[in-house]
Amino acid sequence: MTPRFLDRIWHVAGSLRLPHGQSVDETFTRLDPLFDAYGTSHQRAGNTLSFSKQDPAAQDRMAVFDRGELKVEQDAAGPVLRYRLNSRMLMFCFLLPLLFIGIAQATVWIGTLESAGAEEKKKDEKKEDLELPQHWIDKALGAPVPEKPGADKKDEKKNSEKKNPRSPTTAYVFAGIFAALYVIGRVLEDRKVKALFRKALGGGKA
């Protein structure tokens, strides 16, 4: 993965074409209401507006982004707004599937080790499970062969192992859920913030 690709994992960047003649001050004045939300601080320096959020309210339309930068630049076609926004929420949704996949792999590895240990134990138990000696008088009287000590405990252990098998399925399910949340969130938030800026600016074209 290239640094540029990694950077795009939790950053949303884009641009909007501004109407000819629209100044930097007018552009940021129209955008100011988006950054007057609770927990948001912002400052302007020349053609750049920077913002950061601390514990934003749930109704904040840009709550998913914790900081960002917007610039008004001039190119051959006229003024354009360029933005680059950072989202820790997207970063967490990207990393959590990797964490759960790691847990799933660790579960499989531990299960493999336990299975190998169980096989070795079975071999040892077979060696120990020799028929107990029975007195000839007991045989003559038809008495049953004495049970091997610990037989009940072995049965309980086998039943317990059957009831509690190690399975990576749950971890894989959570990995899939968070992967889907990341993909959906990455696409939707990109479109949502562009539409939000476009509306605030009065219908500027992308």
Render pLDDT for 41-70 as a digit per residue (tens, 0 to 9): 999 999 999 999 998 888 888 999 999 999
Residue 1, pLDDT above cutoff 70? no
Residue predicted with more confidence, 205 or 199? 199
- pLDDT-derived band at 205 (thresholds 50, 70, 90) equals very low
Query: What integer is the mean pLDDT of 23-44?
Result: 92
Residues 137 and 133: their CA atoms lie apart, in Å, by: 12
- pLDDT-derived band at 137 (thresholds 50, 70, 90) equals low
pLDDT at 185: 87
pTM of the model: 0.68
Residue 128, pLDDT above cutoff 60? no
In this structure, of 13-22, 88-97, 163-172, 184-193, the range with the lowest mean pLDDT score is 163-172
Residue 8, pLDDT above cutoff 90? no
HEC string of 16-43?
EECCCCCCHHHHHHHHHHHHCCCCEEEE
**Closest C-alpha to 41, from 73, 68, 2, 5:** 68
pLDDT at 42: 93
Query: What integer is the mean pLDDT of 139-168?
Result: 57
Alpha-helical (H) ranges within the chain are 3-9, 24-31, 88-128, 136-141, 151-163, 169-200
Residue 109, pLDDT above cutoff 80? yes
- pLDDT-derived band at 12 (thresholds 50, 70, 90) equals very high
pLDDT at 41: 93
Query: What integer is the mean pLDDT of 17-32?
Result: 91
Q: If one looks up domain 3-89+187-200 in CATH, what number appears?
A: 3.30.310.80
Parse the chain into domains and list their residue ranges. Answer: 3-89+187-200
In this structure, of 67-76, 78-87, 94-103, 153-162, the range with the lowest mean pLDDT score is 153-162
Residue 164, pLDDT above cutoff 90? no
